[in-house]
Chain A
Amino acid sequence: MTSDITRAVRFTIVTVVLFGGGYHAVLWAVGQVAFPMQTEGSLIRRSDGTVIGSRLIAQDFTRPEYFHPRPSGVDYNAASTGGTNYGSSNPDHLRVVEERLEAIKTREGVTAAEVPSEMVTASGGGLDPHIPLDAAALQTPRVAVARGVPIERVQQLIRAHTERPTFGFLGRARINVLDLNLALDQLQP
C-alpha cells in the first residue's frame, strides 16, 4: 500500500514535468522556428506595428464600404468566445433570424431567397472569419456603390481572394472577410 502511494506520487511528478513541461517546450521551439506567424496567432499588423487583428478571427464590420462577416453570438469578443446555443426550434432564435433577415433585405435590397443562411445564423465560436461566395456576391453591389468603384473591380478582388477547397475536395470555396476588406482599402478609386 505505502509503496503503491509512493510510486503514484513519483510517477505523477515525473509525468507532470514531462507532459506539462517537456512536451510543450519541444512544440513551442518547433513553432518558433518553423511557424512563427501562425503560432503567434496569425496577427496582421499596420506599418507602425499596431495589431489590426488576426487573420483567423472575425472582427466586426458595420460600415457600408466593407463586407460584413457572419453574425456573432458574442459580439465578436475574442476574449470570451462562444455560440448562441439556441435550439433550432427556439422561438427567440427564430425571432433573431427574422430580424437579421429584415435588416439584410433592407440593407442590400434583396429578397429572402437571395439571402444565404450563413448570414442570418451565428457561427459556433462567434468568430467565423469566412463567408461563402454567395454571401460575398450579396454584398458586392452595396460595397461598390459605397466606395464609388465599378462593381467589376470588387468582383475581381473577390475572385482573387477566394480560398478554394484544399486538395480540390476539402471544405467549401470561401472568403476571408478581413483579407478582402484590407484589400479593398488598398484599391485605388
Chain B
Amino acid sequence: MEYVTVVVTVLLPVLTSLPLGRYMARVFAGEKTILDPLLLPIERVVLRLAGVDPTTRQTWQQYSRSLLISNLVMWLAAWTIVTLQQHLPLNPDGIGNMEPTLAFNTVSSFTSNTNLQHYSGETGLSYFSQMFAITFLQFVTAATGIAACVALIRAIGASRVKTVGNFYLDLTRASIRLLLPLAIVVATVLMWQGTPVTFEGAARAMTVEGREQIIARGVAAPMVAIKQLGTNGGGYFGPNSTHPFENPTPLSNLVETWSILAIPMAMVWTLGYMLGRRRLAAMVFAVMLALYAPMVIVAVWQEAAGNPAIARMGIDESTGSMEGKEVRVGAALTALWAVSTTATSNGSVNGMHDSLTSLGGLMPMAGMWLNSIFGGVGVGFINMFIFIIIAVFVAGMMIGRTPEFLGKKVEAKEMKLASLALLWHPLAILVGTAVASYLWTATAEPGTSLAWLKNPGPHGFSEMLYEFSSAAANNGSGFEGLGDNTPFWNISTGLVMLLSRYIPIVAPLALAGSLAAKPAAPETAGTLRADSATFAITLWAVVVILGLLMFMPVAVLGPIAEHLG
C-alpha cells in the first residue's frame, strides 16, 4: 500500500507540471492568463512603487548586475532585522538578537535560497523575523532563481540578440503571479490540516499526568507553504516538516511533497513552451526522471527494509527504519521526500536525515552532488544546461564535428564558463570537507573540545560531508547531529552558500549571453539533434559519469564504508 502512495505522490506533480509549465511560460512572455484580474493590479503597484519601467530590456551583464545588487540589499535588510529582533515588535517569547556569525550564516543561507539552519526557529527567531526576514526572502530569492532561469531560456532561444529580459519585471512576475497564488492555496490547506497561524506566544499546558509542557507556536502555515514551493526548505520549527505542526497529516504530507516538485518539474516544460521546442523539454524531463527514479527506488527500498542492527535484536522492523521518522508519514514516504528535497535543492525534511540507513542517506547526498534533477526553482535547469553544454561538447568531439547546441557553435569561451560553473561545486564540497576533517583530526580530544560530531566512524565523516554538500548545492537539509552553530561552520558554510549561489547563476548567464549574440545556423542532416534519444542517453551518461568521478571517493569514505562496516 505504501508503494502505491509513493507512485501516486510522484505522479501528481508530473501531471500538474504541464499546465503549470504552460502558465509560467505565458506569465514570462507577458501573455494573458486567467489569474490576471486578481494579480495584475498587484504586479502593477509593485512595479510602480519600486520604480521599474517594464518596457526596458537588459543585456546579460545588466541583468546579472541588477540580480546581484537586489540580492545584496535584501541580505542587508534581513541582517538588520535578525540582529535587532529583540527590539522589534511581534516577539511574544522574548527571543534575543542573533549572534553575528550565526546571523551571517542565517541571512546568507536564506538569501542564497539554501535555508541551511544553524538555529532552531522556536528558540532563535521572533515572529517578526520569521515573517519579515525569513518568509520575505523565501519569496524573493525563489523568484530570483526563476528569473535567472527565464533569462537563460530567452538567451538560448535568441539569435543575434543582446538583451535577455528585464530582471525586476521577471522577479515581480515570478513572485506575484506564480509563487503568491500557489502559496496562498497551499497555506490554506495546511491551516485546515492543523498548521498554526497565531500571533500569541507559546501555549502553556498542564498535561494529563500533571507536567508542564510549553508548546511553541507561531505564524507557521504561510512560511511552510513558501518554503516548500520556492525550494527554500527552511522550517518554521527546528525539525522542519517532521514537526507535527508543520506537517500534521498524511494529506498535508502529500500536498507538501507536491509543493517540492511542482515548480521545478514545470520549469522544464516552461522551457519547451518558451522556445517552441517541446521535444527538447521532453528529452530534458526524461533524463531528469531517469536520474531521479533510481535514487527514489534505492532510498525507499533501504528505508522500508528497516535497520538490520535493530532487526537483529528480534524487534519487528516490518514497517521500516523508524528512528527519526513519524508514524503518520511512514518510512517509504520519508525516503521519497528525502530524495525529492535534495534532488530539487529544496532541503526541507519530513524525517531526520542523520538517522536514515547508510545507503538511504547516500541517496540525498547523491542528489545534491548532481544538483541538476529538476533542481531549484530554475537553478536546477541552469545546472542541467551546463551538463547539456558539456554533453554537446563530448558528443561533438566523438563524431568529429564542431559542437553545436540549437544551431549555435559551442567554442572555447563557452566551454571555459561551463567548466567554471561545473567545477566550483565539487571544489567547494571536497575542499570544505577536507578542511573540516583535517581540523577534526588535528585537534586533541575533538569530541570534547570541538564537539561537532554526534556519530562516530564513517557516519561522523558523512555529517561533515553532508553539511558542505548541502551548502554548495544550496539545499539546506542537514545531518543534524552536526554541532554546526560554531564560528567555523557558520562562516565557512556561509561563504560556500553565497559563492555557490552566484557563480552558477552568473557563469551560465554569461554563457547563454554569448550564445545569444551568435547567429543560429540552420539545422541540417549533419546537425547534432539535442532532442534525440541518442543525445538523451549521452546526457544521462555524462551526468552520471561526471558525478561518479567527482564524488565516488567521498561516497566510499562515508556512507558506503558505514554500510559495509
* Chain A residues within CB distance 8 Å of chain B: 4-12, 14-16, 18-21, 23-24, 26-28, 30-31, 34-35, 38-43, 50-63, 66, 70, 76-91, 93-94, 97-98, 101, 111-118, 120-132, 134, 165-166, 169-172, 174, 178, 181-182, 185
Contacts and interface: CB of A to CB of B under 8 A. Distances in A.
A129 B245 CA distance: 11
Given A42-B248, A172-B328, 9 more contacts: A11-B171, A15-B136, A15-B139, A16-B132, A88-B355, A89-B562, A89-B565, A90-B459, A124-B351
Given A83-B352, A85-B352, A85-B479, A56 B319 contact: no
Nearest to A91: B456
Given A4-B69, A56-B244, A78-B216, A83 B456 contact: no
A172 B221 contact: no
Contacts of B315: 97, 101, 112-113, 115-117, 120
Contacts of A185: 208
A9 B73 contact: yes
A110 to B, nearest CB: 11
B134 to A, nearest CB: 9
Contact of B207 (A10, A53, A80): A53
**Pairs of residues from A and B, 5 with the lowest C-beta to C-beta distance, nearest first:** A171-B250, A124-B242, A112-B314, A20-B132, A85-B481
Contacts of A128: 244, 326-328
A91 B250 CA distance: 32
Interface string B440-472: 000000000000001111010010000000000
Given A27-B221, A88-B323, A112-B315, A165 B250 contact: yes
A41 B245 contact: yes
A173 B242 CA distance: 18
A23 B39 CA distance: 13
B15 interface: no
B527 interface: no
B194 A56 contact: yes
B250 A124 contact: no
A75 B425 CA distance: 39
Nearest to A171: B250
Contacts of A116: 315-316, 319
A146 to B, nearest CB: 13
Contacts of B197: 24, 27-28, 31, 39
B355 A86 contact: yes
B399 interface: no
A28 B326 contact: no
B198 A40 contact: yes
B49 interface: yes
A34 B5 contact: no
Interface in B185-219: 187-188, 191-200, 202-209, 211, 213-217, 219
Q: Which residue of A16, A53, A86 has the most chain B CB atoms within 10 A of its CB atom?
A: A16
B313 interface: yes
Given A6-B51, A97-B310, A128-B326, A30 B191 contact: yes
Contacts of A40: 196, 198, 200, 217
A38 B207 contact: no
Contact of A171 (B206, B329, B455): B329
Contacts of A94: 309-310, 313
Contacts of B66: 4, 7-8
Contact of A111 (B131, B175, B200, B314): B314
B65 interface: yes
B140 interface: yes
A41 B245 CA distance: 8
Nearest to B317: A117
A11 B50 contact: yes
Interface string B112-135: 000000001011000000011101
Interface string B252-266: 011000000000000
A128 B239 CA distance: 12
B221 A124 contact: no
B185 to A, nearest CB: 11
Contact of A127 (B73, B205, B243): B243
B170 interface: no
Nearest to A97: B310
16 contacts: A4-B65, A11-B168, A14-B46, A23-B139, A66-B208, A78-B213, A80-B122, A80-B123, A80-B216, A87-B562, A97-B313, A121-B325, A123-B242, A123-B327, A124-B352, A169-B8
A31 B184 CA distance: 11
A166 B255 CA distance: 13
Contact of A117 (B120, B202, B213, B319): B319
A40 B194 CA distance: 9
Contacts of B237: 81, 125
Contacts of B171: 11
Interface in B295-313: 306-307, 309-310, 313
Contact of B206 (A51, A84, A170): A51
Given A38-B196, A78-B214, A7 B51 contact: yes
Contact of A60 (B2, B207, B327): B207
A23 to B, nearest CB: 6
Contacts of B545: none
A59 B203 CA distance: 13
A82 B50 contact: no
Contact of B194 (A38, A88, A171): A38
Given A86-B481, A87-B562, A52 B323 contact: no
